[in-house]
Structure 1
């Protein structure tokens, strides 16, 4: 009688701290043994010459979500989860988005009904809070946190989503009391509004002016202000999709002062620039996202922040809007930059892009790669050590990588529901060949091996247990802020 359901032999397992040539024995959905010369499995995989990494966690992606302007993303939970799996990601955390006037409970129930019959890998939810009424903050949000949704996103821009500073303080205070994590889209709404109005008044409506209107100052000022508000309340803060050196410097200064501030960046800020928004005709609309890509010097600064630990997480911020009337061109064939749906796809290529440019390109070691794509997201968002590592007892979420496989990225070889990729024609080295989720082989021989709805929903621990690896953020002295009794 075989001792294991599956044994992966002769591969090199890599975690955030270790690199070991060993076998992996999987029983049911967990890693049951690690070592050499393990007993037989019902099935065996020879991973000679391959790397075995923890399955990736994409902690920031927009799936089957209606934007504040009423445009639906092109990917539902089936196409998004399939695409994620083919890129080595085995857990996604998209957003259950509250629009004004909506009940959080109804929003989550509706989102769960979308996910359960479709997802092929495991998933959790963040919330988006756009209407922090007394009922939401006093009853609904604490109930959601108790149910395992321990992180939520707020916006400092967009007319239908933005919170003012008073509302942000209320959200931060609730997060502190309930041990949840606040994620913030940090851009100054009035700066963007002021610049946008003047650009449009002068007839400057082409896609490239999206990057002009979303200035670096808008991002750095809002980042500074969000950090200051979090410091006042003495609660952890997570800054999403950082694009500029100026915002990164605000984060670094706060971390150096011992504040509990964490941050992420995304592929578009390493591999795209504002020049992409200036392509002929409306092609630049394909690259419009907020914050926008900057210039080459900003790219280099963001790389350094990812390498030195200023950023804890590398997410895709996958926001898939097709280049047609259902997405980018919903306002017509020649929209101005304010009418273009904001977002770029990147779910499937997130890990291969970073592996190729970072690990193969010798900009970061492979342990740092694992930290920012899997281990840190698991720790920060309350899923570790079930997810994000290779340990006995952890879920058997694994990606067997061919570190030498060369791939030319093309929309034709991706599995999302998009009609373009902003990384068309880019050559990468390293790609996952076999991907497992809870011991199930999800991807093999470039084929999907599991059924719709076979992914599982994940309840997450409260944020009090969140501790990223790498550049750890020190604790704040309890006496450094106002008396906690005020809360």
Structure 2
């Protein structure tokens, strides 16, 4: 048969189980998986490319649905679409969904999206496939009534992100309700950054008056209660509006428990966590010589190992829908990066001036797979949260599965106990001058990354072999996970 590529002798993983050799050959033609079964190599035409997985896990290409690149002025995010997507494929991620940000003064979100399309195509295009979320900060009637339907039905953008924090991003509860009413009607997924901004500002003011401004006090200014209260409030608003939401970057046991309780009541509440909350504790913010600034993100990494345990449990028991990177990178040794929070003359730090965010799009998948190696989660659950669920939640209809008819986005790992790697920034492919995981030993790393049938990363055969510009924009459908329950007839709901 006429195949372009066959992956053979691998353990093919889906959320529902694994397919073992010799019945796990994957055949690819024109960028699409066409067959899965046994003996496909024996019926392939001469010249078909064959990759022997050598008994290793074979998973779908990673889908990272929380990525900030080419966003903001100055040093806010220092990876562009070129280096950000390059870094993604070198870590096994074949599709990202990143943020196009509406500013408070923007009246036309269609222009915002057009501008981000131009950014993605500039400087040679992207290495991996991509889509956009819209960060919505000015939900005017024109935006909600006229422009969101165009984004949803014509532009293939089926998700928005709302902030409960930051002066230049924050929406009040009534504004959030108005957005949820509209996104429910349009079948869009609404992401919410849940932190109580009034609490944070009050604590920052108190800390600054006491001179407690080193990087560690960033974590002090955002105690777990700040997230927990906002997460509970966001869930309450979503329940009132009977609208699906996803709470991004959950970092505490209490917030996880709020999500679990809502799901137990059959509410369409989804949640995301990130590797930084699975591996880092707030002591890293105390590193000398201002190096603690490298770890400033929001919510902050926590001080209690119990939170780390709770998050791994939340992945294992299905509370968390997705595992995302929240890749939001600033350089450390750069005047417009993390050192914005340090007065070079006085050497006085000011944590509130440090750009928020960590690099992580390349390390997300290996860090998630380490949970499999350590016995914290199953390999099926890893695929579910890192590949399949992100595709379903955000309407990536041909991503996230290894099955006929799906894009041939495939990651081939190393066989068990055959490979180990220590994370070093010098070996990563982003534009950032550090990684928060420097020196962390892992048991595996993607051996091959395949995007739509093309090998783009071959770790033992030259590393990065994909061509910039091969990535393409993916129009997305609506949420393919749990939807609102229209059977509720005895309770008040807003008229839609």
Aligned counterpart for 2:321 among listed residues 297, 312, 315? 312
User: What is the distance in 1 between the residues matched to 2:44 and 2:421?
Assistant: 34
User: What is the distance in 2 between the residues matched to 1:475 and 1:327?
Assistant: 45
Q: How does 1:292-307 map to 2 (within 5 A)?
A: 292-294=300-302, 295-307=304-316
Moved more, 17-26 or 185-194: 17-26
- Residue in structure 1 matched with residue 177 of structure 2 by the alignment: 169
User: CA offsets per residue over residues 126-161 of structure 1, 9 Å max, x none?
Assistant: 110011112111111221111211011000000100
SS of 1:478's partner is: coil
1:455 and 2:471 correspond: yes
- Residue in structure 1 matched with residue 271 of structure 2 by the alignment: 263
1:212 and 2:220 correspond: yes
Moved more, 408-417 or 116-125: 116-125
User: What is the distance in 2 between the residues matched to 1:187 and 1:167?
Assistant: 16
SS of 2:447's partner is: strand
Q: How does 1:128-167 map to 2 (within 5 A)?
A: 128-146=135-153, 147-167=155-175
- Residue in structure 1 matched with residue 386 of structure 2 by the alignment: 373
Query: Would you say the 8 A contact 2:268–2:484 is kept in 1?
Result: yes
User: What is the distance in 2 between the residues matched to 1:55 and 1:480?
Assistant: 44
User: What is the distance in 1 between the residues matched to 2:172 and 2:484?
Assistant: 28
SS of 2:489's partner is: helix
Q: CA deviation at 1:58?
A: 0.4
Aligned counterpart for 1:84 among listed residues 83, 88, 92? 88
Residues 59, 278 of structure 1: CA spacing in aligned structure 2 closer, same or farther, 3 A cutoff? Answer: same
SS of 2:445's partner is: strand
1:73 and 2:77 correspond: yes
User: CA offsets per residue over residues 341-360 of structure 1, 9 Å max, x none?
Assistant: 0001111111111212x111
Query: Would you say the 8 A contact 1:255–1:474 is kept in 2?
Result: no
Q: How does 1:10-25 map to 2 (within 5 A)?
A: 10-20=9-19, 21=21, 22-25=24-27
Q: How does 1:192-203 map to 2 (within 5 A)?
A: 192-203=200-211
1:31 and 2:33 correspond: yes
Moved more, 139-148 or 88-97: 139-148
User: What is the distance in 2 between the residues matched to 1:181 and 1:72?
Assistant: 25
SS of 1:479's partner is: coil
**Uncovered stretches (5+) of structure 1, i.e. residues with no partner:** 468-472
Normalising by the residue count of structure 2, what TM-score does the alignment of the two structures yield? 0.93
Q: How does 1:378-389 map to 2 (within 5 A)?
A: 378-384=391-397, 386-389=398-401
Residues 407, 480 of structure 1: CA spacing in aligned structure 2 closer, same or farther, 3 A cutoff? Answer: farther
- Residue in structure 2 matched with residue 478 of structure 1 by the alignment: 488
User: What is the distance in 2 between the residues matched to 1:483 and 1:343?
Assistant: 37
Q: How does 1:392-431 map to 2 (within 5 A)?
A: 392-402=404-414, 403-404=416-417, 405-431=419-445
User: What is the distance in 2 between the residues matched to 1:325 and 1:283?
Assistant: 14
- Residue in structure 2 matched with residue 470 of structure 1 by the alignment: none
- Residue in structure 2 matched with residue 190 of structure 1 by the alignment: 198
SS of 1:304's partner is: helix
User: CA offsets per residue over residues 11-35 of structure 1, 9 Å max, x none?
Assistant: 2211111211211111001001111
SS of 1:329's partner is: helix
SS of 2:475's partner is: coil
Aligned counterpart for 1:272 among listed residues 273, 280, 286? 280
- Residue in structure 1 matched with residue 293 of structure 2 by the alignment: 285
Residues 446, 346 of structure 1: CA spacing in aligned structure 2 closer, same or farther, 3 A cutoff? Answer: farther
1:442 and 2:451 correspond: no
- Residue in structure 2 matched with residue 119 of structure 1 by the alignment: 126
SS of 1:425's partner is: coil
User: CA offsets per residue over residues 314-369 of structure 1, 9 Å max, x none?
Assistant: 0000111000212111354444111000001111111111212x111111111001
SS of 1:13's partner is: strand
**Uncovered stretches (5+) of structure 2, i.e. residues with no partner:** none
Q: CA deviation at 1:57?
A: 0.2
SS of 2:118's partner is: helix
Residues 481, 268 of structure 1: CA spacing in aligned structure 2 closer, same or farther, 3 A cutoff? Answer: farther
Query: Would you say the 8 A contact 1:233–1:481 is kept in 2?
Result: no
